[in-house]
Structure 1
Amino acid sequence: MTTGFFDGISKARFEGPDSTNPLAFHHYNPDELVLGTRMEDHLRFAVAWWHSFAWEGGDPFGGQTFIRPWHPLDDMSGARFKADVAFEMFDLLGVPYFCWHDADLRPEQGNYTDNVRTLNEITDYIGEKMEDAGTKLLWGTANMFSHRRWMSGASTNPDPDVFAFAAATVKSCMDATHKLNGENYVLWGGREGYETLLNTDMKREADHMGRFLNMVVEYKHKIGFKGTILVEPKPQEPSKHQYDFDAATCIGFLRKYGLEGQIKLNLEQGHAILAGHSFEHEIAVATSEGMLGSIDMNRNDYQSGWDTDQFPNNLPEVALAYYYILKAGGLTTGGTNFDAKLRRQSLDPVDLIAAHIGGMDVCARGLKAAAAMIEDGSLDTNLAARYQGWNTPSSQAMLESDLESITARVVSEDINPMPRSGRQEVLENIVNRFV
């Protein structure tokens, strides 16, 4: 028996690039081997519970446009119905994973005890559905940014009672994630930052956040949670400045508080753009330090200055993202989570299915393009050639030398280097052959 929400929509199938069916996969074939691994196992797709089922279609200038049977989510019967619809959608798409915040799953109760009670109730229900469906939990997390109690932060809040409420909330969400055999746990500090330095003790707030993250790691080991702890960078919006600005900032923060061996990064394309970076830049920064955990796949509108969370459709961006992921060994416990939402005018259930199908197809095309670039080897060959001078014994010895010795060598050998082309356009042309 179904909910009826997706009546008339069939399970998405792979029909190949010649199909004109907008609700079929043209490029995503789960069993296709890419570099010797099934496509599904490379991409590890996940549906985001928040944008897919909790979002009501508002924006900064207008309210709800989506009318769903569970809106507003004010009782547990609505929460269970929403879960029924979610698992129907997972089945229609054939996705192996999903992700959630606690506030996506259960109604806000106004106090901690009842929030935990309803979270446990709905995750018990979801656990039963997971057993029947075979769909797994990629990660859980706590929403510590929407309710007014979080307006000045969670772990960085000047009020110690808010810190305590945040710690208890994360514990409950870690317990629920562990119960559902989640493969990761994410912390996104949506309000961990400041609006003005005039009322902010930045050092105290950073120290509190560092201690909070250490508490999370300590609790992970205490309960035997085998998943990966992830933090998710974002530079701004809603805070004027957030302490988890970008990948490099997060890595520095984690090293400062002794967490570099315990926590990895969950990177989002839209957040990379807000930070003034490309997605592949953020991935390359994380992989260079061995700290890539998982990705949130979406895109921003380049004509807008805020986080629009649209489904991906830019093939070159997606291909380069997967190129650097594959070069680093691929996603391990992480996956490709669609932290993306419909446009406010896309009102119908079929729009939700079509959006995910399109995003999955773009990711599949990007993955295959990335694999083809790796197999071709031209980018690697050009990169190696650019740095070949560093492979000589004298160049390596220079790194163990000192300024005086290097200066003497420059004088004695009359070193007077001329610039060499970076060949950017040639490299871009190589990429364009595949995308």
Structure 2
Amino acid sequence: MNAPARFFETTAPISFGGPQAPSPLAFRWYDKHRIVHGKRLEEHLRFAVCYWHSFCWVGSDPFGGETFLRPWHHGTDPMAMARAKAEVAFELFRLLDVPFFTFHDVDAAPEGKTLAESVQNLNAIADIFEAKMAAQKVRLLWGTANLFSHRRYMAGAATNPDPQVFAYAAGQVRAALEVTHRLGGQNYVLWGGREGYETLLNTDMKRELDQLGRFVSLVVEHKHKIGFPGPILIEPKPKEPTKHQYDFDVATCYGFLERYGLTKDVKLNIEQNHAILAGHSFQHEIALAQALGVFGSLDINRGDDLLGWDTDQFAMNGQELALVFHEILKGGGFTTGGLNFDAKIRRQSIDPDDLIHAHVGSMDACARAFLAASVMLDSGVLTDALKERYAGWDGSEGRAILAGERSLADLADRVLRSSTEPQPRSGRQEFLESLVNRYV
């Protein structure tokens, strides 16, 4: 099967045109060469197009089937379809001029009848990726293995009650990690998928957590064995498809990593839609990951506030994004991570160029929010207010308490000797919200 001679109507790469650009396919805010905080905007945002939602999803939902009718979804030769899909994928990377892409193993290549055949297929498509990457600027932000779609993983992969399934998953991850390393990937993601349970009636939770801890440890050991330089990333997600997943949110993942001694090698890939499903804001999850030292990368999408599942819409909320980027900039920015568009166009957006419009719009929304965040950080409107609110802890007595130089009795006796009652101070929430509105 050959790739369509011209899948997209657009043929020229999208370029920066400024806020008043007349073309609907022009960046109005994303000027990749603009210097902000000493780096180009492209280096700050590190955009990546995901392979799965962009090229593998057919537009189905629980109540209806395929709507997109992509030519590489229909054929009798799975490898020919995979090669055609790769041609269109790299054309989109070129048109968007993105620095990175991401993929699951089975997004890129079809599963075979055996693991050996699947690995052979993956490496054959990786050869194509490698050749195309040599001719284009795009690089690999991260790779991962799909350990959730196949029937064998209905009860999980690492947490499966059958050790043979655990071993099969290990073989699949080894292949995906080694391909990621070969392609110069900057991270490797372990996406839990079905690492959780539907009912405790048939679940030994301690056993499954120990299995999961051992599995992640095996991946870390192999990462060092092959010399893979990037971090392993875990993506928190509270539910869907399982009722409860062991990687529920940032706090849960951090407790898991601490228990199994994995915080040095494993960081977190955080997604807005998953944060909302866990009952948190996107900003909360990022701020907590920064505070705990496990921040790694972001899936940049959004959920629908009225729906309780993972809708994976393109990120367009400027105020939310500005606060997110303020947290990231305050923490020093990305190292190996970036912004992966784990987002899909709506099933009624059936024109191929809708895929381009979606990415362009979200890239612009991110750039505009990032610029607002950088101005907020430079002006100190939020950081100065925080410093003032916690100023007492920077004084001599506050530092002595945190340094362990005061006992409980010391503190109690000091208060008993004092005739002064501590007076609360306003948190000024509405004032701070109005300040943010001035920038976004």
Equivalent residues of 2:158, 2:166 under 8 A apart: yes
Unaligned runs of 5+ residues in structure 1 are none
Aligned to 2:423: 418
Distance 2:286 2:394 in 1: 26
Distance 1:181 1:394 in 2: 50
* CA displacement at 1:54 relative to structure 2: 0.4
2:254 corresponds in structure 1 to 251
Normalising by structure 2, we get a TM-score of 0.97
- Whichever residue aligns with residue 103 of structure 2, its letter is W
Alignment of 1:225-374 (within 5 A): 225-374=228-377
Secondary structure of residue in 1 paired with 2:71: coil
- SS of equivalent residue, structure 2 residue 188: strand
1-side partners of 2:137 and 2:411: how far apart? 62
Asked whether the equivalents of residues 314 and 359 of structure 2 are also in contact (C-alpha less than 8 Å), the reply is yes
How far apart are 1:111 and its partner, in Å? 2.0
Aligned mates of 1:120, 1:246 — CA distance in 2? 33
Matches within 5 A, 1:76-95: 76-95=79-98
Q: Is the 8 A contact 1:183 1:227 kept in 2?
A: yes
- Matches of residues 131-146 of structure 1 in structure 2 within 5 Å? 131-146=134-149
What code does the residue aligned with 2:32 have?
A: P
Give the structure-1-normalised TM-score. Answer: 0.98
What is the alpha-carbon distance in structure 2 between the residues aligned to residue 203 and residue 257 of structure 1?
13
Residue matched to 1:391? 394
SS of equivalent residue, structure 1 residue 70: helix
Aligned residue type for 1:361: D
Moved segments of 4+, more than 4 Å: none
Q: Determine the C-alpha separation between the residues in 2 that align with 1:381 and 1:179.
A: 45
Q: Which deviations, in whole Å up to 9, do the C-alpha atoms of 1:318-358 show, x marking residues without a partner?
A: 11111111111101111110000000000011100000000
Instruction: Name the residue aligned to 1:28.
Output: 30
- 1:377 CA drift (Å): 0.8
Identity among equivalent pairs (%)? 58
Q: Residue 382 of structure 2 aligns to a residue in which SS? A: helix
Distance 2:8 2:254 in 1: 43
Q: Which amino acid aligns with 1:90?
A: F
Give the match's secondary structure for 2:142: strand
Which of 55, 58, 64 is matched with 1:56 structurally?
58
Larger mean CA deviation between 322-331 and 414-423 belongs to 414-423
Partners in 2 of 1:247 and 1:177 — Cα distance? Answer: 25
Is the CA contact (8 Å cut-off) linking 1:3 and 1:85 kept in structure 2? no
Residues 1:403 and 2:403 aligned together: no
2:10–2:353 CA contact under 8 A, matched in 1: no
Once the two structures are superposed, what CA deviation does each residue of 1:153-194 show, in whole Å capped at 9, x if it has no partner?
Answer: 000000111100000000000011011111110001010000
Do structure 1's residue 431 and structure 2's residue 431 form an aligned pair? no
How many angstroms does 1:70 deviate by? 0.4
- Shift, 1:46, TM fit: 0.3
Cα distance in 2 for residues equivalent to 1:181 and 1:274: 33
User: 1:9: Cα distance to partner?
Assistant: 4.0
Distance 1:349 1:395 in 2: 59
Q: Indicate the larger mover: 215-224 or 55-64.
A: 55-64
Structure 2: any 5+ residue segments left out of the alignment?
Answer: none
What residue is the counterpart of 1:70 in the other structure? Answer: 72
Which 10-residue stretch deviates more, 163-172 or 382-391?
382-391
Alignment partner of 1:294: what SS? strand
Shift of 1:415: 4.2
Deviations 1:35-79 (A, max 9, x none): 121000000000000000000011122211110010047511111
- Aligned counterparts of 2:93 and 2:17: Cα–Cα separation in 1: 19
- Give, in whole Å, the separation in 1 of the partners of 2:145 and 2:156: 13
Q: 3-state DSSP class of the match of 1:433? A: helix
Residues 3, 84 of structure 1: 8 Å contact kept:
no
